[in-house]
Structure 1
Amino acid sequence: MADQVRHEAGTLPGAQAMRLPADMLLVASVIFCAALFGIMTRPVGFLAAFWPANAVLLGLMIREPRLASFGGWIAAFAGYVAADLVTGGTLRMTLWLTAANLTEALTGYVLFRALAEDHRRMRWPQSIVVLFAVCCCAAAMSAFVGAGVSTAYFGRDFATSLELWFSTELANTTVMLPVMLAAPRLADIRLPRRIDLSAQGLRRATPAIALAASILLGSLIGGPGSFAFPVPALLWCAVSYSLFATASLTLCFTIWGMVIITGAFADLPADTDLVAWGKSIRLALALIALAPLAVASINANRNQLLKRLKDMVEHDEMTGALTRATFLERSERHLSQDGTAAVLMLDIDRFKSVNDRHGHAAGDVALVAFAAAVRAALRPGDLFGRLGGEEFAVFLPRATQAEAQALAGRIRRAVEERPVDIGDGSRLTITVSIGLALQATIARPSLDALLATADAALYQAKAGGRNRVETAA
């Protein structure tokens, strides 16, 4: 109840008001830094070669809806304006550019909010196509607002400015937004304690190494087709890494491609149409980026389906315990590796009377409650399986006698203390009898011998009055 009160208190208007200044500061700071990075990529006479700020803002608003308040958008406006003004931008041009940037982010936000959550997190195979369509719409809206900047300040006609703005923003958003949407929560990030230099670690790093090598090769050879050299390595990364890792590597590839384009301007013939040349390459980079992103999304969806199928095969549908075959297979593997182990045989006391008196539906509820109580008492790494009916087993790897007895007692108490609500307003109290066998007490330890010994101890616990733990001599 106290947790519920605290949770509800966190959603009160007063609590939201207290968090608003911090959220606004966060949004303003992030957008300021992202915009500053983009400004640093501006070649003379052009807009930014790579502008991540709009995609970063859109990703923030989608991932954290509380930021998409009126105050959050005002903070984003302040971040854009501050970054441009501190780098020497004029107020008129800054406000114009900021209006175009916010138009793109707002358009993308409205469209993404209309999509399913799985699309927003790119969990479906077609999500990349949907994302690309949203990016096209957002880039187009931004181009209509901002294209006049190139006309007013760089002397280009409106149609050319429109095409240039659209192609640039489409490339920026297509490669940056997937990184924002696929990024794990900060609490879920686990940094490795050391670099894995084993053969397995090096094999896992090979696709990324191949990508770096192909980028280096493209830089050395140069030419208009050099940006396509890393494509095979990108696809290799897509089938080897997570969607977030693939999106991050694709982003690195695209930034490199943008740098190559910008750096090549000085080497082109004087009569080259730099705007048309750059526009074409940026669109090509955006379309190339779709391939590894789509492959990674499909691969992630396939892996998720395989994991779900594996869980269905390996776990009992009702109780969530391991199936008999899976429990025996995993226990055999642990037994061959660990020096000590213990097995518990568990049987719900008088379970048949529960079915007879209250019906099989109540018996199913009792089984689910029993399994939940047992799982809550186990240690990480312990195996819990359903052998059949109301009979379950627990395998305790590396458990001493004292540890096994303490855990068995904890399970017995947890089951007894958890009332079972059978749905008609009444509650049942169930108990469990447990037989314990230790690997060290068996002359020729095997899983079959451990289970048989634990089963014999279980019958002793039943004969001794039930709701007790009996350790095999």
Structure 2
Amino acid sequence: MSVTDANSPLAASLASQRVRGMAIVGGVIFAAALFGILTRPVGFLASFWPANAILLGMMVRNPRYARPEAWAAAFLGYIAADLVTGGSWHITLWLTIANMAGSVTGYFCFQFVTDKDRRLRHAISVLYLFGICCVLALVSALVGGGAVAVLFDRDLTQGVVFWWVTELANNLIILPPILTFPGFRMVASNLSSASAMSRANVVHWLPCLALILSVMAGVLIGGAGTLAFPMPALLWCALSYSLFTTSVQTMLLCIWLLIAIPAGIVAIPTLPDLINSLDSIRLGIALTALGPLTVASINSARRDLIDRLTQLATYDMLTGALSRSAFFERGQDRLGELVQTRGNIAVMMLDLDHFKHINDRHGHAVGDAVLKEFCALVSTHLRARDLFGRLGGEEFAVLLPATDLIEATALAERIRVAVDEAVIAMASSPHLDFSVSVGVSACRAELDTTIDTMLVKADHALYEAKAGGRNQVRVGSS
């Protein structure tokens, strides 16, 4: 039976996934459109219309949804939301086509940027987002602007401008949190950590508190400066929090302004022409979001770079073991902790036998495979608190806190046996065997104990293991 058979399990699974995707997209768009319709002022289009940006965000973040049937489900979601709230067929179809035109255009534009830019992980990513939002808003406005002219008795130019500004604002506000969403588990973990009562967490919440106070000040004071009041606090948030958190804070602030200003909760001067006044307010709010998002994006890119540099400095790229410097630095920290309790500490020196011969005979690619397999085997026998580092070439070291000589020797023997039994698959021969020699040293941690001294003793024991025939464990003198 072919895997493409309509009755095959694979085909049934794919069909089920598509139906589920249609249901999710259609249901979410119906709910989002219904929210926008129910919250709009009487006689006007919605002050806040999240459906288009949510649709675009879902398609960009989950390409498996971007199938014709899912787009069709979204179309039906728009239609259903408008009809159940009393919309007329001809206006409903017109508005829905305009909404879909913008989202489809945005999805097409996002295909020309990298995945990191889609997630706003580069310094210039927010400008790419701004450009895409301008283009999709223009396409949507050209299709739907005439509806504004018909509904509110305005000329076509005013209708296009009104639609473009509204669509631009909604997408700039809603897309960033969707594009930067790290996953529910990560969000739950961060919230759990941030909710713990400690001085560090109190300081952590200060930028958020400053943002809330600045919003309250805007309500109390009013005036055109209300849009700028939260900016210092929002920039503080962008420098203090993750990109996703800053995106959410920016979104919530902008949504508040989009709803509160037309409702009169925040008093600011308006133009005699209400629609032109709303255009100016929405455009101002949308452009306000660019500043903190850009700062947060740059800060996120800087953190990523620091993390990569730290990873390169801390771990060996080939094997994943600690680098020489990181091993000694962390080992000294572990030793310092044990000195206070005079606990036991042990080290092992490990050297792969005849490794140069493996490289010379089989090539460096096989040698790299042996090193990776060896490190994977050793790591499976170590505890979380143990340190495993590559000191150079085929020479490795293990530091074992709270471990005496008998325990360390037994562990070394288990590692030796595991390595001796391991094989590397070869294209030119059935397999490649390899082995390791191990030197062990242990003592009670004292003030004059050093990692270097312990490794010298273990290295002497390793030399004895090599001289004695290799593939064995030897213990260093106390």
TM-score (normalised: structure 2): 0.87
**Structure 2 equivalent of residue 20 of structure 1:** 18
**Structure 1 equivalent of residue 181 of structure 2:** 183
**Structure 2 equivalent of residue 284 of structure 1:** 284
Tell me the distance in 2 between the aligned counterparts of 1:270 and 1:205: 35
**Inter-CA distance 379–84: structure 2 relative to 1 (3 Å threshold):** farther
**Structure 1 equivalent of residue 157 of structure 2:** 159
Match of 1:84 among 77, 82, 85: 82
**Inter-CA distance 421–91: structure 2 relative to 1 (3 Å threshold):** same
Shift of the alpha carbon at 1:301?
Answer: 1.1
**Structure 2 equivalent of residue 47 of structure 1:** 45
**Inter-CA distance 183–462: structure 2 relative to 1 (3 Å threshold):** same
How do 1:320-339 and structure 2 match up within 5 A?
A: 320-338=320-338
Shift of the alpha carbon at 1:424?
Answer: 4.6
Indicate conservation of the 8 Å contact 1:261/1:278, yes or no.
Answer: no
Match of 2:370 among 366, 369, 383: 366
Question: Are residues 1:347 and 2:351 paired?
Answer: yes
Deviations 1:97-133 (A, max 9, x none): 2211111111101111232222222222111111111
The amino acid across from 2:452 in the alignment is: D
**Structure 1 equivalent of residue 416 of structure 2:** 412
Shift of the alpha carbon at 1:335?
Answer: 2.2
Tell me the distance in 1 between the aligned counterparts of 2:46 and 2:143: 16
Indicate conservation of the 8 Å contact 2:260/2:266, yes or no.
Answer: no
Shift of the alpha carbon at 1:84?
Answer: 2.4
**Structure 2 equivalent of residue 261 of structure 1:** 261
**Structure 2 equivalent of residue 75 of structure 1:** 73
**Inter-CA distance 397–101: structure 2 relative to 1 (3 Å threshold):** farther
**Inter-CA distance 271–289: structure 2 relative to 1 (3 Å threshold):** closer
Query: Helix, strand or coil: the match of 1:393?
Result: strand
Compare 88-97 and 200-209 and name the one that shifted more: 88-97
**Structure 2 equivalent of residue 389 of structure 1:** 393
Shift of the alpha carbon at 1:88?
Answer: 3.1
**Inter-CA distance 120–410: structure 2 relative to 1 (3 Å threshold):** farther
Query: Helix, strand or coil: the match of 2:113?
Result: coil
**Inter-CA distance 357–137: structure 2 relative to 1 (3 Å threshold):** closer
Tell me the distance in 1 between the aligned counterparts of 2:209 and 2:376: 46
Tell me the distance in 2 between the aligned counterparts of 1:403 and 1:190: 40
Q: Which runs of 5+ in 2 are unaligned?
A: none
Compare 330-339 and 392-401 and name the one that shifted more: 392-401
Indicate conservation of the 8 Å contact 1:219/1:260, yes or no.
Answer: no
**Inter-CA distance 268–287: structure 2 relative to 1 (3 Å threshold):** closer
CA RMSD of aligned residues (A): 3.0
**Inter-CA distance 221–355: structure 2 relative to 1 (3 Å threshold):** same
**Inter-CA distance 320–221: structure 2 relative to 1 (3 Å threshold):** same
The amino acid across from 1:363 in the alignment is: G
Query: Helix, strand or coil: the match of 2:252?
Result: helix
Indicate conservation of the 8 Å contact 2:120/2:126, yes or no.
Answer: yes
Compare 353-362 and 49-58 and name the one that shifted more: 353-362
Compare 185-194 and 329-338 and name the one that shifted more: 185-194
The amino acid across from 1:31 in the alignment is: I
Indicate conservation of the 8 Å contact 2:222/2:267, yes or no.
Answer: no
Query: Helix, strand or coil: the match of 1:213?
Result: helix
Shift of the alpha carbon at 1:445?
Answer: 4.3
TM-score (normalised: structure 1): 0.88
Query: Helix, strand or coil: the match of 2:264?
Result: helix
Tell me the distance in 1 between the aligned counterparts of 2:33 and 2:409: 61
Query: Helix, strand or coil: the match of 1:344?
Result: strand
Query: Helix, strand or coil: the match of 1:420?
Result: strand
**Structure 2 equivalent of residue 109 of structure 1:** 107
Shift of the alpha carbon at 1:245?
Answer: 1.1
**Structure 2 equivalent of residue 216 of structure 1:** 216
**Structure 2 equivalent of residue 305 of structure 1:** 305
**Inter-CA distance 417–102: structure 2 relative to 1 (3 Å threshold):** farther
Tell me the matched-pair count: 465
Tell me the distance in 1 between the aligned counterparts of 2:235 and 2:38: 30
Deviations 1:179-223 (A, max 9, x none): 111111335444244623212112222211111111111111111
Query: Helix, strand or coil: the match of 2:350?
Result: strand
The amino acid across from 1:248 in the alignment is: V
Shift of the alpha carbon at 1:465?
Answer: 5.1
Tell me the distance in 1 between the aligned counterparts of 2:411 and 2:56: 50
Tell me the distance in 1 between the aligned counterparts of 2:276 and 2:360: 81
**Structure 1 equivalent of residue 141 of structure 2:** 143
Tell me the distance in 1 between the aligned counterparts of 2:220 and 2:352: 72
Indicate conservation of the 8 Å contact 2:316/2:390, yes or no.
Answer: yes
Q: Which runs of 5+ in 1 are unaligned?
A: none
The amino acid across from 1:219 in the alignment is: V
The amino acid across from 1:394 in the alignment is: V
Shift of the alpha carbon at 1:304?
Answer: 1.3
**Inter-CA distance 298–267: structure 2 relative to 1 (3 Å threshold):** closer
**Structure 2 equivalent of residue 134 of structure 1:** 132
Shift of the alpha carbon at 1:278?
Answer: 1.2
